Structure 1
Amino acid sequence: MALDWENLRLFLAVAETGSLSAAARKLRLGQPTLSRRMAELEESAGNPLFIRQTQGCVLTSTGEALLPAARRMAEWASEAESSLIPQPHRPSGKVRIAAPPGVAFEVLAPLAADIRTRYPELQLEILSGVATLNLARGEADISLRTRRPGDADLLCLAEVHCPVRVFVASQYAARLPAQPALADLDWITWAAPYEQLYSKQALEQAIPGLVPAFTSDDFNVQLAACRAGVGAMVLARALHRRSLLHELVELDLDLGPEAIGELYLVVHKRQQHLRRVQCVVEALRDEFARLEQTGSHVPSP
């Protein structure tokens, strides 16, 4: 099967705009020509790539499978074009970073301001979620993970280790006894379907029969409840420059010797030489180094 790159470029435009007419306008191409090229590509692929609907196009399973590869080809084509531009040139394009919710909120969102100042032509896309995205399939360019990858094609470029502690709002801390026990606290933690995450598991091991006071499937909602004084959260110590944990009080409570958080900066070896990816990796490694030097750390999910 030989797929024409130009047809793949057109396919990507249709997939990203959601319709043949929108893609034709974006590409400044006649819609009949675009339809014909998509038919050629579908013939080469051996299966339909789109379901044509009144309001646009929806990818078929074959189209979904082809999309990550088409995106990577577009990225490499852009990088090849950039390599021909006389130096120095500023990196441009989209960089997708996958991270657990706490890391995305506490670390990546604030750090984006620094990255954009240094590289104003980069577009950052933060993919916040519990599931680990597949870098080999192009689901993200960079991944911040709480476990070291075992795949030989994935490179771990930096890592941070940190203690996991208990945090509350100052108004909540003022209501506590002098030396509270873990069971004395009103706990804020994960709701279904994320009960398997470390913070919930650590609490259930430390407090038999745990009944949380507040649960949510959204990290931002949990943190907002904690800041409002609803109760306590298990968080990795994250006292970096812009951390919201500066607003909270850390309690002197022991969660056990295994209460250690880890964070790994991971890229696929195929992506490591892309200039736009290198720039973001450099910024992330600098932030990791600052955290290690100051004794501050990053949050676990």
Structure 2
Amino acid sequence: MNWDTIKLFLALHREGSARAVAVEYDLSPSTVTRRVTDLEKELGAKLFNRVSSGFLLTDSGQELLSVALRMEADAYEIERKLLAKNSFMQGGVRITVPYHLITMPIMDVIQGFLVKHPKVDIELIPSYKSFDLERGEADIALRIMLKDSMPPEKLIGTRLVEVYSAVYASKSYVETCDLEDPEKSSWIGWGEEASKPEWVLSSRYPNLPLRHSLADPLAQLHAVKAGMGISMLPCFLCDLEPDLVRIPEGVKWHSFDIWMLSHPDLRETVRFRELRQFLRDSFRSSSAVWTGDTYNNAS
């Protein structure tokens, strides 16, 4: 069996769509289905049922799946172990970062690292998706996680900084709207159910209604700046915005942590080890930004 075809088989199982697999592997959908059909002919067994919702594994497909998953795990392990033998400060590093962290001085941090190590190439992947480090989808992941939560045990995890949140509004919104009046003021929703979430009920303004729905921190930030309502947001996004204020003044709380994750097999690879240390030192040296201690309403 051809390993490249097995990868397509696994991708089709995971995605359920030839079109999605085609995009991932830069192929046409017809090429994806043709190669899987060729695999079925080679094995003499039907692997997928084509249904309206996509591709579903048959019993034979399930049998192949267990073998294919072992092949995939072995292939990634070989790749990681060979990569780990690289003792030079050169080569690529793929870092996945949530979109709203890109607004912070991460580029300056990375450039600081590259000045010291000019032969390292950085691939920065901004995404809210949790990339699978065991499958080699990224080398290092920066993730914002709820406080007190822990990363997967199979990964090396380092808690970089605590992230504090607060309630924000634009200065003009505070000046023109009565924050105690449900007819004049409202929360900007995060896409929750119709009932009020706990973070609203436990806030200083539990009686204000939820309006609108923006399930993205950057969208929320711009909505607050535009005067669409008030919102709970991370301090690092809002404290340097001159048109925003915290309400009530100065109140904040520990809501998230930023973790740095990587695979144990890459622990001693020089460029990964040095970058992890550099990121750890850089985040911790700027901890006041993340804990909301740079806020100055006089700005």
TM beyond 0.5: yes
Contact 1:9 1:70 in 2 (8 A): no
Deviations 1:115-139 (A, max 9, x none): 764376332323316xx77766777
Q: Which residue of 2 aligns with 1:27?
A: none
Matched, 1:158 2:159: yes
- Judging changes above 3 Å, is the alpha-carbon distance between structure 1 residues 236 and 110 closer, same or farther for their aligned structure 2 residues? closer
- Judging changes above 3 Å, is the alpha-carbon distance between structure 1 residues 127 and 203 closer, same or farther for their aligned structure 2 residues? same
Matched, 1:253 2:253: no
Q: Secondary structure at the match of 1:217?
A: coil
| Runs (5+) with no aligned partner, structure 1 | 24-30, 52-57, 98-103
- Judging changes above 3 Å, is the alpha-carbon distance between structure 1 residues 73 and 246 closer, same or farther for their aligned structure 2 residues? farther
Q: Which residue of 1 aligns with 2:126?
A: 126
Contact 2:159 2:259 in 1 (8 A): yes
Q: Which residue of 1 aligns with 2:202?
A: 205
Contact 1:188 1:222 in 2 (8 A): yes
Deviations 1:87-115 (A, max 9, x none): 342234x4445xxxxxx233145555347
- Judging changes above 3 Å, is the alpha-carbon distance between structure 1 residues 7 and 186 closer, same or farther for their aligned structure 2 residues? closer
Deviation at residue 76 of structure 1 after TM alignment: 4.6
Q: Secondary structure at the match of 1:216?
A: coil
Contact 1:154 1:266 in 2 (8 A): no
Provide the aligned C-alpha RMSD in A: 5.0
Q: Following superposition of structure 1 onto structure 2, how do residues 282-293 of structure 1 map, counting pairs within 5 Å? A: 282=277, 284-292=279-287
Structure 1 distance, partners of 2:55, 2:29, is: 12
Contact 1:158 1:264 in 2 (8 A): yes
> Of 285, 289, 297, which aligns to 1:296?
289
Deviations 1:198-245 (A, max 9, x none): xx521123344441243323333322211112222112311xxxx554
Q: Which residue of 2 aligns with 1:273?
A: 267
Deviation at residue 260 of structure 1 after TM alignment: 2.0
Q: Secondary structure at the match of 1:190?
A: coil
Q: Secondary structure at the match of 1:113?
A: helix
Question: Number of paired residues?
Answer: 262
AA partner of residue 262 (structure 1): F
Q: Secondary structure at the match of 1:128?
A: coil
Q: Secondary structure at the match of 1:123?
A: strand
AA partner of residue 157 (structure 1): T
Contact 2:169 2:224 in 1 (8 A): yes
Q: Secondary structure at the match of 2:91?
A: coil
Contact 2:40 2:47 in 1 (8 A): no
Q: Following superposition of structure 1 onto structure 2, how do residues 115-194 of structure 1 map, counting pairs within 5 Å? A: 117=111, 118=114, 121-128=121-128, 142=141, 143-147=143-147, 148-149=149-150, 151-175=152-176, 185-192=185-192
Contact 2:80 2:266 in 1 (8 A): no
- Judging changes above 3 Å, is the alpha-carbon distance between structure 1 residues 224 and 168 closer, same or farther for their aligned structure 2 residues? same
| Runs (5+) with no aligned partner, structure 2 | 13-20, 293-299
